[in-house]
Structure 1
């Protein structure tokens, strides 16, 4: 069955009239605003731009994607929620994701009432392309497929040809979560013109260093973005967050310099960790973290905690594995020093 967005969108949302805020009805500049019941005495009394137009323009210039193909969310989690809310019929429709991966796909799908389908990634953490997956992708009740690339917690990027195969094989929305794409060699953004069922998620939380601002971006077809705009909250992203993101985009050279520093530190950490006796394997990564298999992961985790160093225990998803975020050179040196003492 060929992709058709109208077949995916829930019937009760197709004719939905979105809430029209004061700032939607008047988006020009004026001297006096008496339309939104705001406090006129407060310097923070004005509502934010609900369309995030200036931010979308800046992202459009950076990513070479039309503003009409961009939606801004209160973190990528809000965008995931909106996508599921748009197409999932509770108790009937299915959502597919590949484990180990970002846990919010499952949580968000279950909140939306979807039937969740989990498929394990291959031994090298690539997609399990084969007859079973082919049957699932043809299921008319499959509405969303989540692909995380670079994948969390494994750090590897899914080969673009495998992403293409998934996009070509299903009438469902295929959501490629690229939270860590700025640290990787390639992105799926260039596939948007070819595949109408593709949604690419990115974020300001990682490479841009604005995790506190809670800003995510969805890149998709104009038709899908228009539907999502109808159902999003009117003022979902604050003026402060939009301003921070715009300032960060203006200093993008600084962002790229920081990305290169993080990649350099990641490479240094990878080499140093691989030499430690307690380390069994350091998985290749194109993100800002490393997944590391230890002979005694629980003991190492507790040992680091005792030295005020917090890493993430991922042993439930990948046996004996800890996920280590790349820190500053000083932080990384302290981590390595602690691990060397543990191995002494």
Structure 2
């Protein structure tokens, strides 16, 4: 049975969060003399002299309408990376606790663990890039606070079997963090729908991928109200700037455009897979539920270097365990994909 008080860091239980001027007064006024801001404005066309909403309510309200969860179940971070870091700082005692990672997976989980002095216990995915449930069970001890699962997975592109994730949620007393950065491209439904079922579930999503807002740095975490309250207590007071909030709100009103991009990306992904299969140096292309594909080749580094010379940048993942000989290729525009294929046709 999950009990947040059993995994929360003792110092976080006692933490009195910083109270900003915008926390102490909520509403509209004609004169603001409470936050030591520049009263004369900004040297820009848009005035950014006032501090932003520390809890980003308008953005959360719009996300609530799109995602079907209340604003109180949403945390916004400076990218998903901030949400990951806040989870470590909230629930893991440095030098004592551990988390479980399932490589090959997103590298920031391990970086954040190392920054926070948290042990990482790695349980490799199976050969078909699925969870090794037996290995995970053996790795868990009384100091295991979180399990990170990326689905669709980066860099492999595949979705993790839903039943396996549910098995962990039902049997693990810590947090199961499901990172859905690429969920918009997947055939699998989001785990957000399971928040009321599992109190220990945290779902990460982002506006950086399908929504095309990587430069704004807006990440999302969805969880129970008590987990979100802890994360809001630990985060910096104004972690999402006003420009990002305004532009995110504007973007969230353009769902039809984003959906058309997703559809085109999937079409281009299928087309690119078929074209790449014609090359002798391509040994395998793994099934993908993301906006990229993992391609096993006869010489990943040589192909990577050749493409760099042509002004085309892909990702060499050949040194990642279980991804030997592999390149990760993002799905581009039709013109970009054609440029890639034309370049590879001249590769010796």
**Deviation of residue 133 (structure 1)?**
2.2
Distance 2:259 2:277 in 1: 27
Q: What pairs with 1:131-280 in structure 2 (closer than 5 Å)?
A: 132-137=135-140, 139-185=141-187, 186-280=189-283
Separation (CA, whole Å) in 1 of partners of 2:26 and 2:38: 19
- CA deviations 1:275-297 (Å, max 9, x no partner) are 11110011110101010011111
Match status 1:297 vs 2:296: no
**Distance in 2 between the 1:214 and 1:274 partners?**
35
Tell me how far apart the structure 2 counterparts of residues 158 and 184 of structure 1 sit (CA, whole Å). Answer: 11
Q: Secondary structure at the match of 1:179?
A: coil
RMSD (Å) for aligned C-alpha atoms: 0.9
Cross-structure match for 2:44: none
Runs (5+) with no aligned partner, structure 2: 42-46
The 8 Å contact of residues 181 and 187 in structure 1, kept in 2 or not, is answered as yes
Secondary structure of the residue aligned to 1:291 is strand
- Whether 1:340 aligns to 2:345 is yes
SS at match of 1:338: helix
Aligned mates of 1:301, 1:12 — CA distance in 2: 47
Matched pairs, number: 340
- TM-score, structure 2 normalization: 0.96
Give the Cα separation in 1 of the matches to 2:93 and 2:234. Answer: 16
Separation (CA, whole Å) in 2 of partners of 1:300 and 1:198: 40
Which residue is 1:50 aligned to? Answer: 54
Q: CA deviation at 1:328?
A: 0.7
Q: Write the distance in 2 (CA, Å) between the matches of 1:244 and 1:191.
A: 29
TM-score normalised over the length of structure 1: 0.97
Asked if the contact 1:134–1:169 (Cα under 8 Å) also holds between the matched residues in 2, the reply is: no
- Mapped partners of 1:325, 1:27: distance in 2: 43
Runs of 4+ in 1 over 6 A off after TM superposition: none
Q: Is the 8 A contact 2:285 2:293 kept in 1?
A: yes
Is the contact made by 1:47 and 1:235 (CA closer than 8 Å) also made in structure 2? yes
Measure how far apart 1:191 and its partner are.
Answer: 1.3
Question: Tell me, what secondary structure is at the counterpart of 2:105?
Answer: coil
Contact 1:248 1:255 in 2 (8 A): no
